[in-house]
Structures are given as structure tokens and as C-alpha cells.
Amino acid sequence: MNYPVWVVPVIGSGWVIGIIAIIHILISHFAVGGGIYLAFAERKARKENRKDWLEIIQKHSRFFLYLTIVAGAMTGVAIWFSIALSSPEATSALIHNFVLGWASEWTFFIIEITAIIVYYYTWNRVSAKKHEAVGWIYAISAWMSLFIINGILTFMLDPGKGWLSVAGTGAEPSKFWEAFFNPTYFPSLLMRTLVCITLAGLFAMVTASRINEEKEPKLKEQIVKWSAKWLMPAFALIPVAALWYYLMLPQANKDLFKLGVSTIGQGIFTQLTRNAVFLIFASIILFFIAYVFLWRHPKSVKLSHALLIILLAFSIIGVTEHMREMMRKPYVIGNYMYSNGIRKFDAEKFNSEGYLRNTIWTTEESKTTWHIQDTMTSEESDNLSSPIQPDLYRGELMFRGQCIACHTTNGYRSISKLLKGRDEASIRSIIDMLHEYKEDSPYRKFMPPLVGTKGEVDALIKYLDSLINKIDQ
């Protein structure tokens, strides 16, 4: 294992996290909304003395249990595994800053798992009142998990001025609540809760679609229509929540949106703009399906239709999460840690002392040797009978440490394609811009600064030149 630099060919480590996370978010948000759905559905069925409804709800709880506990738990563990390898510094920062938060979330998660298992296996074995109570225990604990996780996720975009004022001093725990209830916390919580409710209705279609419309046409129509109603709050309130969220964004993130919107007429779409346009049209299509198809033709809903609707919801979540990821650039934790794991306040130290000299994944002998080499005059370096350390190896370590979190050599965001056709001088001009990181640099909006001594920067340039122009060494 090449920890702490995880080299994933073709797609890069970021997309490993992305693919797992999108699947997990779809399931985990259904786990929250679906729990609320089960509690309300059972209450409605018992109040109206509908045994036929209770049979369907029981079947739905089995589907819910298998999907959320098995697939949800597996993808949850996979996220921890992948982020720890892909971004160990950011993972460490989140764990250390939110010890209380994680402990609270895991407590609710244990309650959540226990409650849903008890809920499913006590159908017709305990009184109706007790069974409903277990359902509500699950629903509340699942939403509380969302309540806590939302604070940690939104912290990554904007930790808030209070927390940033003490970041790196060791006094971060004193600003725990300011970091947790950060500027985008409440609009994000509202949006995620609405998404959970929507997914509850969509996933209910999977169970409802399997009701035989010939034998039980009335039952199928009633459950499909009632489930479709769960989509309505989201369509009405998500635009309001989205506007609220936008207004609470840091100015730099607003500027990224404005840049994309202002250039639409010229046919220039930023990645954020493309995602936003897709999100709007996909949401309209989902609303159209909910009203025209699910509401007006409930008996016609088949399993294939339900799965296609879930696939559309999956794509919407994927685009939304990609937008959230893009908005954080060039940071992984806003104004604190860059996307390559370098803390903002460490940049000057790495420039003066050396990046490779301060990492944990090079030998002490190499660090000392490189420091000696960097402090030599040109004359002293020319008089050496042989190089102290091959520059290409040193450059590759710079590439792995500072570039590979977002780029691959020949796959996603390929360095080979981005720099194709450039000679060493042209590569140097780009690298120098990243190293100098001036206020007017176009790269500042998306990329972290390149840090390191002159010798380390030169080594990276030589490595990239050899990679792009296939220089034999």
C-alpha cells in the first residue's frame, strides 16, 4: 500500500470516494426519510384499520431493512476506508475536531440499527402501540444521525470565522459549536431533510410497483398516490432552501456561480454551471414523472419504472454532491486545508524549509540530503561528481504529494493531456504561477498553491517534462 499517497489508476482516488459516497448518500438519505415514511404509514393504516396496507408496509420494511442495513453499512465502511487512504490529513482533522460529534452520531447509529431490526422482527408479535413506538424511535434516531453528520459536512465548505481564528493553535475544541453550526448548516439541513422525504416516496414505489394491479387495483392506486405525495414538499421548498444556501455561501463560492452564469450567453459553461443546469432540468423531469405518471396513472407503475425513477434520483444526487465538492476548491476544508492535504498556514514553512523535508513518507536520510543540495550554490552543485539524489525521483514525490489527490498521469484530469504539447519552458511557466500563487492568478479559484523550495519545484518540472515528452533517463 502506497499510503499516505493512494495511487488509483485511470479514475483517481477522488472518484473512488465519489462513486462510493453517491451510493451511500442515496441509501443513507432513504434510511432517514424511509424511517419517517414507515412511522407515518403504519400510523395511517392502524388509524383507518387497513390490514391490506399493513401487509404492504411490512413487506416494505423488509426491503428497507436489507437495503439500509446491508448496503448502507457496507458503503459507510467503504467511505471511511477510502477517505483515510485518499485524504489522510483531512480525515484526521475531521476526527480530531469532531470527537464529540462522531461519538454522538455512532450512538444514534447503534440505536438506529437496533430499532429497525426490532421493528421488522416484531411485526404482529407486540402490541400496535409498542410497534409504532419502535418505528418512531428509529425515525428520530436516523434523523439525529443526519443532524450531526450535516454539521461535519458543511464545516468542510465553511468552518466559520470563529473556528478559523483559532485553527492550528490547539484551541479548536473551544470553537466546536461555532464550527458545527457553521453558516451553511441550517439551509443544508433543510435541503437534506427534504431530499430524505422525497427518497422515501420514490423508494416506496419499488414496493408499490409489485402490488398486483389486477388483484388489488384499489390498494395499488392508493399506496402509489399516497407515496407520490411525499415528493410534493421537496418540489415546493427545495428552491427556497437552495436560495437560502446560496446566500450563506462564502463570497468566493458565489463568484464561481456568477462566473458560470455570466458566460452562458457566450457558450462558456463552468463545471458548476453545467451541473446546476442538469440539476434544474432533472428535477423538473422528476416532478413531471411524479405528477403525470405516478399521480395520474398509479396502476401502471411497474418495477422497471420505479427503478428508472431511482436511477434518475441517483444521478441528481451524484450531480449535487459533485457540485458540493467543486465548490470547496481549492480546499478540502474551507480556508484551512487545501485539496492536497496541505494546511494553509503551513505553505510558507514548506516554501522556506522544503515540502519533502517535512513529509512523513520520505526517509530522514533523503530529507537531509535534499536540504544540503538545496542550500548549495550553483558552483558547488556543478562540482559534484554525481547527483546527490535523482531529480526525477524527487519530482515524482512532489507530484504524488501535491498533485495526485486531484490528477492522474493518464486518466481522470490527466496531467499528460493537460500539459500535452508543452516543452519544459512552458511547463515551468504554469508551475511558477502555481508556486507564486499571485492574487490575479486564474488558478487560485480551483487549485492549491504549489509549495516547496526552488530545488523541489525544479525537480517537479523535470519530472513533468519527462512524463509529457517521454525523455529517456
Distance from C-alpha of 466 to C-alpha of 473, rounded to nearest angstrom: 8
Query: What is the residue extent of each domain of the chain?
Result: 12-338, 344-469
| DSSP symbol at 409 | S
DSSP conformation letters of 267-335: T---HHHHHHHHHHHHHHHHHHIIIIIIIT-GGG--HHHHHHHHHHHHHHHHHHHHHHHHHTTTEEETT
Evaluate whether 321 touches 243 at the Cβ level (below 8 Å). no
Question: Of 366 and 302, which is predicted with more confidence?
Answer: 302
pTM of the predicted model as reported, rounded to 2 decimal places:
0.89
Evaluate whether 318 touches 22 at the Cβ level (below 8 Å). yes
> Residue 432's closest CA among 395, 404, 457, 469?
457
Q: For residue 261, what pLDDT band results from cuts at 50, 70 and 90?
A: low
Evaluate whether 305 touches 250 at the Cβ level (below 8 Å). no
> Residue 367's closest CA among 473, 461, 455?
455
| DSSP symbol at 8 | -
Evaluate whether 299 touches 221 at the Cβ level (below 8 Å). yes
Q: What's the CATH code, domain 344-469?
A: 1.10.760
Percent of the chain exceeding pLDDT 90 equals: 64
DSSP conformation letters of 111-150: HHHHHHHHHHHTTTTS-HHHHHHHHHHHHHHHHHHHHHHH
Which three-class secondary structure state does DSSP give residue 222? Answer: helix
Q: List pLDDT tens digits, range 140-195.
A: 999 999 999 999 999 999 999 999 999 989 899 899 999 999 999 999 999 999 99
Output the nine-digit C-alpha cell for 371.
Answer: 536540504
- Residue 338 pairs in a beta bridge with 331
Output the nine-digit C-alpha cell for 33.
Answer: 426519510
Measured CA angle at 315 (ends 244, 415), to 5 deg: 95
Evaluate whether 312 touches 285 at the Cβ level (below 8 Å). yes
Is it the case that residue 472 has pLDDT exceeding 70? no
Q: Exposed, middle or buried by CB within 10 Å (0-12, 13-18, 19+), for 301?
A: buried
Q: List pLDDT tens digits, range 92-141.
A: 999 999 999 999 999 999 999 999 999 999 999 999 999 999 999 999 99
Q: List pLDDT tens digits, range 445-464.
A: 889 999 999 999 999 999 99
Helix (H) or strand (E) holding 337: strand 337-338
First-to-last CA distance in the chain?
27
Q: Which residue bears the cell 467543486?
A: 326
DSSP conformation letters of 156-173: HH---HHHHTTTTTT-GG
Q: List pLDDT tens digits, range 184-201.
A: 999 999 999 999 999 999
C-beta atoms surrounding 136 within 10 Å: 18
Q: Which residues, other chains included, contact 323 with Cβ-Cβ below 8 Å and sequence gap of 6+? A: 272, 275, 276, 279
pLDDT at res. 268: 55
